[in-house]
Amino acid sequence: MTLTKEKYENIANSLQYCTKAFIDGKHVDSSSGETFTTENPATGKEIAKITCCDERDVDRAVAAAREAFEDRRWAGLHPAERKKILCKFAELIDKNRDELAVMETLDSGKPIKDTVEIDLPETINTIEWHAEAADKMDGQLTSSGDQSISMIVREPIGVVAAVIPWNFPMLMATWKFAPILATGNSLIIKPAKLTTLTMLRLTEFAAEAGIPDGVLNVVPGHGDVAGKALALHPDVDLITFTGSTVVGKKLLEYSGQSNSKRVLLEMGGKSPSIVMPDIKDIDAAAEQLAFAIFWNMGENCSANSRLIVHRDIKDRLIERLIEKAKEWVTGDPLDPAFNLGAMVEKPHMEKVLGYIEKGKAEGAKLIYGGQQLFPDSGGYFVSPTIFDQVTPDMTIAREEIFGPVLSVLTCKDEKEAIAMANDSEYGLHASIYTDDLDTAHRMSRAVRAGTVSLNCYSEGDITTPFGGYKQSGFFGRDKSMLANSQYTELKTIWIPVR
């Protein structure tokens, strides 16, 4: 249930922040004693100082995780027992959902409406779903004849490191740690430096739920220090990452330089929406198109930031799209009346505004928005923005902006639309709008993307895998039973019958 702005402000004023690293079941300072500041993107003011971990702290966390894995305090539990503890973890999150929603909003700039209605429910559901899967990962017997028995079993891979992005701090963390823990692994999480508070708070609920010491560890800090140390560590068996393609490639290098640890990457996107001329409900399409780019201030790797529209329908669609864009109102993130909040930090806001200027300089036509909002607030707000007359070679059509900026491109037929959609180094998500069933099937197969949604913007649900083609991903998939299985090793056991 959504509360009033006043009640959320009261919760904000009463928050107690957990700011220390979590290693081997204890909240601890870093070896160096250093801290970093986290701020409220809506005001630019400091919220708290957070422990800043370095290589020594990563060594401590990995050692604790390895010891916990080797003595099987978690991996050795019956899967049904792990399920019970993880469900208790989810229950504690549910009991404290308003506190967590406010904390997430203050730390990230996300609108409270989203953290209450989307992030928290999906966080809880993710933990519960993967917990329920813990005792449902069956092995198998192969057809080896009467003279032998051959078994294929799955075992936890060991010590896993997870590097988490800042755009969905809690939800992306659970996409990683829920299947990792459900399958019996030990874990070290490196949350994004910009959004650390809720993950540190979750460690308190994890301990209360009964997750043993050393099984879940959290090391806040700089990506090029703590994150790099995890990726290079010889005793980490797998590293999973969601974030930029540039950083993902570095993690692959670090794996090769160390112990060739398994690497799972979910990276950038420049996702297209294609609107064909046979679509009848233009209003519904425009509503979904606006949601696909403006939701979460466009800070979403699967945001449909390229609109490829058939020339016969373009003018009517853009007219409706602008009307829908007006419904995406920016304001105080703690006020549930607003559905857009602040960009995560000043440098990111400046980067987005720089792309807007680049679009204008390269000849795109700005038809809506395109400016910083509320500069006197101290916060980092950018208006929803739409460019028309964008060509495929323009910077705003090729590079991931990670902000509320939509580029409109025009196509003359299906073949050109598909060519434009696939003309990208990324392949995370795509949406196709058509009322013709044959066209829907044909185009959804032709677009090279990990997820294709038809007549809507959707990433699917917890049962469907999420990840991308090309430079949007590297082997890994979040969500679904595939997420559980990728954190396990396959073992064959061969038994002669005498």
* DSSP calls for 223-239: IIIIIHHHHH-TT--EE
CATH number for position 282: 3.40.309.10
* Tokens at 151, concatenated: 């078994």
Nearest partner of 196 among 19, 13, 371, judged by Cα: 19
- Of the pLDDT bands very low, low, confident and very high (cuts 50, 70, 90), residue 428 is very high
Binned at pLDDT 50, 70 and 90, residue 9 comes out as very high
CA–CA gap between residue 239 and residue 227 (Å, rounded): 10
Residues 55 and 188 in one domain: yes
110 in the same domain as 11: yes
Q: CA-CA distance, 227 to 219, in Å (whole number)?
A: 9
pLDDT at 1: 81
The domain total for the chain is 2
301 catalytically annotated: yes
pLDDT on residue 339 = 96
pLDDT tens-place string over residues 163-210: 999 999 999 999 999 999 999 999 999 999 999 999 999 999 999 999
Domain containing 395 equals 271-461
pLDDT at residue 137 greater than cutoff 90: no
pLDDT tens for each residue of 335-348 = 999 999 999 999 99
Average pLDDT value over all residues in the chain: 97
- Does the pLDDT of residue 304 top 90, yes or no? yes
- My answer on whether 118 and 173 are in the same domain is yes
Question: Which band of pLDDT confidence, cut at 50, 70 and 90, is reported for residue 31?
Answer: very high
- Chain position carrying tokens 């396990």: 488
- Are 275 and 263 part of one and the same domain? no
- Evaluate whether residue 292 is within a structural domain: yes
- Please name the amino acid found at residue 153: V
Q: Which of 266, 287, 299, 345 is catalytic?
A: 266
Same domain, 206 and 328: no
- Does 351 share its domain with 484? no
Q: Judge whether 287 counts as a catalytic residue.
A: no
To 10 degrees, the CA torsion angle through 132, 120, 166, 327? 130
253 and 362 together in one domain: no
Helix (H/G/I), strand (E/B), else coil: 261: coil
Q: End-to-end CA distance of the chain, in Å?
A: 65
Q: What is the CATH number of the domain that holds 70?
A: 3.40.605.10
What whole-number distance in Å separates Cα of residue 465 and Cα of residue 478?
6
pLDDT at 108: 98
Catalytic residue among 52, 53, 301, 411: 301
- Is a pLDDT exceeding 90 seen at residue 138? no
Q: Is residue 156 part of a domain?
A: yes
CA distance linking residue 267 with residue 472, whole number of Å = 5
The residue type of 310 is: H
The predicted pLDDT at position 139 comes to 85
When pLDDT is cut at 50, 70 and 90, the band that residue 144 belongs to is confident
Are residues 278 and 234 located together in one domain of the fold? no
Do 344 and 452 belong to one domain? yes
Check pLDDT > 90 for residue 35: yes
Does residue 498 lie within any of the structural domains?
no
- Express each pLDDT in 258-271 by its tens digit: 999 999 999 999 99
What is the amino acid identity at position 149?
I
Question: Within this chain, do residues 226 and 314 fall inside the same structural domain, yes or no?
Answer: no
Work out the average pLDDT over 384-400: 98
Query: Three-class SS of residue 312?
Result: coil
Same domain as 301, residue 262: no
User: Any idea which residue has 């294709």 for tokens?
Assistant: 452
**Structural domain includes residue 466:** no
Identify whether 467 is part of a domain.
no
Asked whether the predicted pLDDT for residue 76 surpasses 90, the reply is: yes
In a domain, 497, yes or no: no
CB neighbours of residue 28 within 10 Å: 16
Domain co-membership, 18 together with 143: yes
